[in-house]
Amino acid sequence: MAKRKSKKSSRKTKSKAAKIRPKKISAFAPQDELKRELKISAIDEGTVIDHIPSDSTFKVAEILNLENHKGIVSIATNLQSKRIGKKGIVKVGGKSLTQEEVNKIAIVAPDATVNIIKNYYVKEKIKVKSPDVIDNVVKCSNPVCVTNNEKVNTRFYVVKKDPLKIKCHYCERGMGKEDIEII
């Protein structure tokens, strides 16, 4: 977000009686609390999705519909990872994933690990598995494809896993990771 510097032209009064006081910058902000709020908090119960390729971090958030999640959601991206270069992490408080959601995540983040958190500890660690067939998850990018014009579920075959390449069962349109739009 662009910060707008608004510099009001200070009106100086010639009168000696009127002193110009510099404006104090919010003396109310309690520093400790502020620091605490800025840290990404651990979650006591829920799911942490780790090792997401940075450019897929927000796709994962979209898949899980986190915009409407009522619990804690923290999304971090562009973190250093020895394994995958730059990675993203998504933490979701009070949510466990369905198999369907895990399968969807595998499409955009084939190396992701899903950690199930109970009482602040990792209770289970699941490595996602890229599917061979993707049913009714991805929208076909071909506007004349039957799946975009009739009530037909989409179906794609995974041609290549990394980088992802998929092919529409109906119109044979090939799509890469950047074309993927989750239904």
Please report, as ranges, the residues that interact with Zn ion according to CB under 5 A.
Answer: 140, 142, 145, 168, 170-171, 173
CB of 107 to Zn ion, least distance (A): 16
CB of 133 to Zn ion, least distance (A): 14
CA count, 13 A, side-chain hemisphere, 35: 2
Closer to Zn ion at the Cβ: 62 or 179? 179
CA count, 13 A, side-chain hemisphere, 151: 0
Closer to Zn ion at the Cβ: 44 or 172? 172
Closer to Zn ion at the Cβ: 61 or 145? 145
Closer to Zn ion at the Cβ: 157 or 170? 170
CB of 175 to Zn ion, least distance (A): 9
Q: Transcribe 123-174 into DSSP letters.
A: EEEEE----SEEESSB--S-TTSGGGTSS---EEEEEETTTTEEEETTT--E
CB of 171 to Zn ion, least distance (A): 3
